Amino acid sequence: MDIKIKRIIVKPRLPKVIWDFFMITLGAALMALSYDLFLVPHKIVAGGAAGLALIFHYLFKLPVGTMIFVINIPLFIWGLKEFGKKFGFRTIYAVFMTSFLTDLFQATWHLKAATQNTILASIYGAVLLGVGLGLAFRHQATTGGSDIVAQILAKHTNFTPGMGIMMVDFFIIALAGLTFRQVDLALLGFTTLYISGRILDVILEGPSYNKAAYIIS
């Protein structure tokens, strides 16, 4: 007696594109909370378009979310040329949602600093930021700014996205330190940048024994 085995193909509950945009939106929300609850209240600049937006916010009282979008406009063209229309659209969506949610959360809930401890703000802000970036990157988007540059570096070189972000953002953090004339803020910015970059790499590449040993030591 012949026994026929039928292949059962289990389809995803949601089309991949819907899942991708859901995760990009979640990543944008996490980054918005990172800015509103931890980084902006303590003037912690972790680089990128958001870092420049924070500088403009304190110098000229401009909304952080709006400035994030404006600063990213010239970078969209670069991303489109490197990665095509699909990547460009997702990046535009991610940047828009991050900008929109940053201002929306602040306007709706009038969020204040989640902690008065600047060091804790740097650490927890970095965690949220790194996870948010990782979700966007895993689903073929960036959140603009140095993220776009990091993705391009990763495409053409052996640099990981996290390493690329750290390289590009070094200048922006140094600029913030000079602008606010506070060395401590620059040092906290570098701390936030490093932590978020490592978390981003773990999300994209997975943890390894070498990385674990490095962190523990």
Taking only the tens of pLDDT, the chain with its 217 residues reads 454 544 444 445 668 999 999 999 999 999 999 999 999 999 999 899 999 999 999 999 999 999 999 999 888 888 788 877 766 788 889 999 999 999 999 999 988 999 999 999 999 999 999 999 999 989 988 788 887 887 788 888 888 877 877 788 888 999 999 999 999 999 999 999 889 989 998 998 876 545 443 343 3
| Cβ-contact 195, 74 below 8 angstroms | no
Q: Is residue 147 part of a domain?
A: yes
Residues of the chain by 3-state class (helix, strand, coil), percent to 5: 75, 0, 25
- Token pair of 5, please? 């085995």
Rounded-to-integer distance, Cα 119 and Cα 116, Å? 9
Q: Is residue 120 part of a domain?
A: yes
- Token pair of 111, please? 């969020």
What is the structure's pLDDT at 86?
67
Residue numbers of the domain that contains 99: 16-216
Number of folded domains that form the chain: 1
Among 84, 205, 75, CA closest to 137: 205
- Token pair of 61, please? 């009282």
Q: Is residue 64 part of a domain?
A: yes
Q: Is residue 200 part of a domain?
A: yes
Q: Is residue 102 part of a domain?
A: yes
63 burial type by CB count under 10 A (0-12 exposed, 13-18 middle, 19+ buried): middle
What is the structure's pLDDT at 12?
52
Q: Is residue 24 part of a domain?
A: yes
Quick check: helix, strand or coil at residue 55? helix
Q: Is residue 4 part of a domain?
A: no
Residues in Cβ contact with 151 at an 8 Å cutoff, skipping those fewer than 6 apart: 79, 82, 83, 137, 142, 161, 164
Q: Is residue 205 part of a domain?
A: yes
Among 132, 128, 158, CA closest to 145: 132
Q: State CA 174 to chain mean position distance.
A: 19
What is the structure's pLDDT at 13?
61
